[in-house]
Structure 1
Amino acid sequence: MCNEKIYYSPEIIHTTSNPLTPKPELFNTLLYSLVPIMGIAAILLFSFWMYHHHKLAYPPVLVPTQDPGLTPPSPLLGQKPLQLLEIKARGRFGCVWKAQLLNEHVAVKIFPIQNKQSWQNEYEMYSLSGMKHENILNFIGAEKRGNGMDIELWLITAYHEKGSLTDYLKANVVSWNELCHIAQTFARGLAYMHEDIPGLKDGHKPVVAHRDIKSKNILLKNNLTACIADFGLALKFEAGKSAGDTHGQVGTRRYMAPEVLEGAINFQRDSFLRIDMYAAGLVLWELASRCTAADGPVDEYALPFEEEVGQHPSLEDMQEVVVHKKLRPTLREYWQKHAGLATLCETIEECWDHEAEARLSAGCVEERIITMQRQTNLIAPDDILTVVTMVTNLDYPPKESSL
């Protein structure tokens, strides 16, 4: 046995000392080392090519190369000096300043960089073909200010001293003719937004759903003409194109339609328009509650459902009141004794109907208001004095801070 072991030992040494065997092992080692390195290099080269290709694809719209999502300064502004004067409002997306641009006052809505998506969406909506309209807030331009972490996104629009419909109704009552003028111009602006208009001079105007209709987003010009503002949540509907982020539960809770509160939205164009119409009914109710036309007291200004849920309702609060109990703001009995207000109450109820398909269109609301004003003024002109008891205060605390 000992001799046997000694006999086989040289064979083992002879086999393992064969100079040809290390070559495939070395080749395999090199192969396994180089393949991952080459793979990583290929990925880096492809990523660089994609980045470079993407940058070159959109040079006219995206100014700073370090942030391809931002829009360049508007050519309407150029290098004109813009001086911020005072803050007029604050909200969830930013704040609004009164500012000086040459010899006129303008409004500057300032978004922090975290709210870039809202700023970008609003800029795009204002820039759509056909969005210049008397009853839509006049857009002047958009700018990026600052650098690095201090970047601010500015949206410059016309400035209206009277502020929002909320602000105005807090401090003022309205006559019948004033109510009709505000309601009609608001409905006209909403009807125009909701309309698809081909063949305009500057292109095809798509249907636009606002998705945050409320009295805070309706501004009043000096003659009380209404114009709709704040398109940060708006959607446009163009044939053959996606409407974008159609997430259902957006907007201001107290103005949310039942189907929004339930999370049961049909994500079709008409569904979003009907959601706007529900909120429009609440805005018309706010106007009616501050009108002096009826033979009865004028209530202190209150937000819709403030009596039921207070000033800061939760989503659950609104679901309980609007969806489960199917409540709506109170329509006073003595409003029904005024022919015009009675028609307006009927219109309001058809706007905030629980069934979305039963709601009126904005165009229909506009026509109704024109008709009821004409008929009422034939019966009782607005210059006839009506004695009204006002239940109101001179100074009101702010009720909501959303822009």
Structure 2
Amino acid sequence: IKARPGGTGPLHLLIYCLLLVITLLVGLLVTVWLYQHRKPPYGHGDVSEDPGPPSASPLLALKPLQLLEVKARGRFGCVWKAQVLNEFVAVKIFPIQNKESWQNERDVFLTPGMRHENILRFLGAERRGQQRGTHLEAELWLITEFHEKGSLSDFLKGNAVSWTELCLITESMARGLAYLHEDVPRLKGHGHKPAIAHRDFKSKNIILRSDLTAVIADFGLAIGFEAGEPPGETHGQVGTRRYMAPEVLEGAINFQRDAFLRIDMYALGLVLWEVLTRCHAADGPVDEYLLPFEVVVGQHPTLEDLQEVVVHKKMRPTIKEVWLKHNGLAQFCETVEDCWDHDAEARLSAGCVEERIAQIRRHASIQGPPTLLVSSPVTMVTNNVRLLCDAADYHDNQPNLRRVSGLEERLLLVLFLDLLAAEERLD
């Protein structure tokens, strides 16, 4: 049987199939090529796959955003003062290798319920390509409100504070940390806000408004705790060494929510002390601004330095005697010491610190300006005689006479000095 002219034989059918397959492959390759070349040239594929958050402020849609000057540099990037139309904003710029920190801070800011008067206000997060010579370099931007006074650390370097300013700064700072630590249930129009540990709490990460109220910033290491869920993959020994709690320096952390919150409280105690050192409410000159433990370990301590000082020797920044003679500062010092207690479980909560400072401030406003605690000569002598009697009782009941004798000698010396002071006052 002969095939009809123009019929389709097996060879022609095979050729047609091959042509169809080749056409489809070429079309697929062209499509892939076009897709790849239409992607923004950020230099890192992972960034392009992350759609990023929507802008949290309509201000950011008003371009261009002009970078004006660098205000601070940190471990993960630098902070610029920038301008959008007539409004100043802060732009924290992360290099692409610190994408994880940018994502974490962005996600914390976008957590439901994170709007609070003492937490830095978030405006948006963006991916940008900046021209560097002949190539375009990827950057990650985090945009927040801008405050001209800058960080608490920088402010204290150039300014002493009054009693009122001490209370204002520290109470608002504790209020912000208390809210951050709080587990807020789902409210109308808002989702559930979990308790969040900051994990890098320090004076550099506290920003001051023009009225000296504080806002907490820099959530690159922060971690949230959902009820009944583990904290996830995290490293215990993070943050700034100088502000690390003893258990962090030892590497002996209990990876539970309360343990992380107590680590923040230790750091809060150190920051409260920093503000205290620059308060001129007490008699005498105000010391130059120093970081915690700077006198002992300098400005760039190693982990081993701080382990020796904080863990083994259990040292803390100095509480000056003159502060304890001031009725407001004495109570404030007690709060500071209760924050940096070596026993993590004995530390105060942020809410308790806020309430204590508020009570001290209210008491001072009722009683008038805080004054020095001056005992009368009779009271001083009576108190020291009582101590001598206690020492005598101890002497009668203990065989270690040498130790008791030394104690009695010191108390007699104190009594003698008190009598001299009383005589001077009577004159």
Do Structure 1 and Structure 2 share a fold, with TM-score over 0.5?
Answer: yes
Deviations 1:113-137 (A, max 9, x none): 0000000000000000000000000
- Which residue number in structure 2 is paired with residue 345 of structure 1? 333
Residue 244 (structure 1) shift = 3.3
Q: Secondary structure of the residue that 2:224 maps to in structure 1?
A: strand
- Taking the TM superposition and a 5 Å limit, the aligned residue runs for 1:277-288 are 277-288=265-276
- Taking the TM superposition and a 5 Å limit, the aligned residue runs for 1:275-354 are 275-354=263-342
- Which residue number in structure 1 is paired with residue 81 of structure 2? 98
- Which residue number in structure 2 is paired with residue 151 of structure 1? 138
- Which residue number in structure 1 is paired with residue 174 of structure 2? 187
Cα distance, 1:115–1:65 mapped onto 2, change above 3 Å:
closer
Q: Does the 8 A contact of 2:69 with 2:80 survive in 1? A: yes
Aligned length: 321
- Which residue number in structure 2 is paired with residue 178 of structure 1? 165
- Which residue number in structure 2 is paired with residue 122 of structure 1? 105
Looking at structure 2, the residues matched to 227 and 66 of structure 1 have their Cα atoms a distance apart, in angstroms, of 30
Looking at structure 2, the residues matched to 333 and 117 of structure 1 have their Cα atoms a distance apart, in angstroms, of 46
Looking at structure 2, the residues matched to 359 and 341 of structure 1 have their Cα atoms a distance apart, in angstroms, of 19
Q: Does the 8 A contact of 1:73 with 1:144 survive in 2? A: no
Cα distance, 1:127–1:298 mapped onto 2, change above 3 Å:
same
Please, which of 361, 369, 376 is the counterpart of residue 373 of structure 1? 361
Looking at structure 2, the residues matched to 136 and 169 of structure 1 have their Cα atoms a distance apart, in angstroms, of 20
Please, which of 216, 219, 223 is the counterpart of residue 228 of structure 1? 216
Deviations 1:13-43 (A, max 9, x none): xxxxxxxxxxxxxxxxxxxxxxxxxxxxxxx
Cα distance, 1:103–1:191 mapped onto 2, change above 3 Å:
same
Residue 95 (structure 1) shift = 0.2
Q: Secondary structure of the residue that 1:348 maps to in structure 2?
A: helix
- The root-mean-square deviation of aligned C-alpha atoms, in Å, is 1.8
Deviations 1:269-296 (A, max 9, x none): 0000000000000000001100011112
Residue 374 (structure 1) shift = 1.2
1:121 counterpart letter in structure 2: N
Residue 239 (structure 1) shift = 2.1
2:243 counterpart letter in structure 1: Y
Residue 92 (structure 1) shift = 0.8
Deviations 1:204-260 (A, max 9, x none): 111000000000000000000100000000000012444233211000000000000
Q: Does the 8 A contact of 2:184 with 2:193 survive in 1? A: yes
Please state if 1:218 is matched with 2:206: yes
1:129 counterpart letter in structure 2: P
Residue 65 (structure 1) shift = 7.7
Please state if 1:167 is matched with 2:154: yes
Cα distance, 1:277–1:72 mapped onto 2, change above 3 Å:
closer
Deviations 1:71-91 (A, max 9, x none): 156263235321100000001
- Which residue number in structure 2 is paired with residue 23 of structure 1? none
2:55 counterpart letter in structure 1: S
Please, which of 55, 69, 72 is the counterpart of residue 74 of structure 1? 55
Cα distance, 1:285–1:70 mapped onto 2, change above 3 Å:
farther
Deviations 1:156-177 (A, max 9, x none): 0000000000011000000000
Deviations 1:125-156 (A, max 9, x none): 00000000000000000000018871100000
Q: Does the 8 A contact of 1:214 with 1:279 survive in 2? A: yes
Higher normalized helix content (fraction of residues):
2
Cα distance, 1:192–1:314 mapped onto 2, change above 3 Å:
same
- Which residue number in structure 2 is paired with residue 396 of structure 1? none
Looking at structure 1, the residues matched to 165 and 278 of structure 2 have their Cα atoms a distance apart, in angstroms, of 11
Q: Which runs of 5+ in 1 are unaligned?
A: 1-63, 385-403
Please, which of 103, 124, 139 is the counterpart of residue 141 of structure 1? 124
- Which residue number in structure 2 is paired with residue 239 of structure 1? 227
Looking at structure 1, the residues matched to 56 and 209 of structure 2 have their Cα atoms a distance apart, in angstroms, of 26
- Which residue number in structure 2 is paired with residue 10 of structure 1? none
1:257 counterpart letter in structure 2: A
- Which residue number in structure 1 is paired with residue 347 of structure 2? 359
Please, which of 240, 244, 250 is the counterpart of residue 238 of structure 2? 250
Looking at structure 2, the residues matched to 199 and 116 of structure 1 have their Cα atoms a distance apart, in angstroms, of 30
Deviations 1:23-64 (A, max 9, x none): xxxxxxxxxxxxxxxxxxxxxxxxxxxxxxxxxxxxxxxxx8
Please state if 1:274 is matched with 2:257: no
Looking at structure 2, the residues matched to 282 and 341 of structure 1 have their Cα atoms a distance apart, in angstroms, of 15
1:92 counterpart letter in structure 2: R
- Which residue number in structure 2 is paired with residue 35 of structure 1? none
Looking at structure 1, the residues matched to 236 and 296 of structure 2 have their Cα atoms a distance apart, in angstroms, of 24
Looking at structure 2, the residues matched to 145 and 221 of structure 1 have their Cα atoms a distance apart, in angstroms, of 28
- Which residue number in structure 2 is paired with residue 262 of structure 1? 250
Looking at structure 2, the residues matched to 151 and 309 of structure 1 have their Cα atoms a distance apart, in angstroms, of 38
- Which residue number in structure 1 is paired with residue 410 of structure 2? none
TM-score normalised by length of structure 2: 0.73
- Which residue number in structure 1 is paired with residue 414 of structure 2? none
1:191 counterpart letter in structure 2: A
Looking at structure 2, the residues matched to 379 and 75 of structure 1 have their Cα atoms a distance apart, in angstroms, of 46
Q: Secondary structure of the residue that 2:108 maps to in structure 1?
A: helix
Detail structure 1 runs of 4+ shifted over 6 Å in the superposition. none
Q: 1 or 2 for the larger relative contact order (CA 8 Å, sep ≥6)?
A: 1
2:217 counterpart letter in structure 1: A
